Structure 1
């Protein structure tokens, strides 16, 4: 019985995660955002210096674009020093790609190694087509 309730709860949560997401426009490219580590946040900020419409994804015309994202992540005490506490970083990353194609889905993944954030842009075949460059970080 517990297993049935747990499974039902997980399915409900999975359904809610995409609640309110629009259907992709086939005349544009869709970029999903995926933070690779637990307790992190990845948000869409800008496309070509214009404010992103929705912080959960990007949808862009075919062609060349620069995407800016906000990535928030913890730096564990083991990466700082023996008496340190977890430190939160709030970073912006810029990803440039010249060949977004209409109707294609891309995935932008972000993570960190110690204090350094990273981002990679994948196409539908899971090939890396772009990498993020840091555009500034703050600690909190």
Structure 2
């Protein structure tokens, strides 16, 4: 059994992670994955580096809480979240959410839910470096909070 939550500096391989998710599960009919990547522009400015920091222990607990809530809301066979930390560059992978269920609707909804909650409830701090070397911390977006609100019970 592999860990459900991974916070790591190193990159990941989507195919490998999806295969691990399915191991030993003959009851899976759908696997939905999402990979978020570093954009080269934010708020109209070119971005050279994105650096992510986290609070060890607290971050894993927050992600596990989100993951388990998805399992409570939809019948899922398995799920896995990888989130990278450290310095990343445009086009680098940041986050992967993989969800497996018997039926596709559960998997699609759960993956969407996990990403929406992760964006607003996981303790990560993002710092961007612009081409001129200027640095700035990235604030939470109003649109992320609005996306989270669609899942209110």
Report 1 or 2 for greater relative contact order, CA contacts < 8 Å, sequence distance ≥ 6. Answer: 2
TM-score by length of 2: 0.30
Greater strand fraction, Structure 1 or Structure 2: 1
Greater helix fraction, Structure 1 or Structure 2: 2
TM-score by length of 1: 0.32
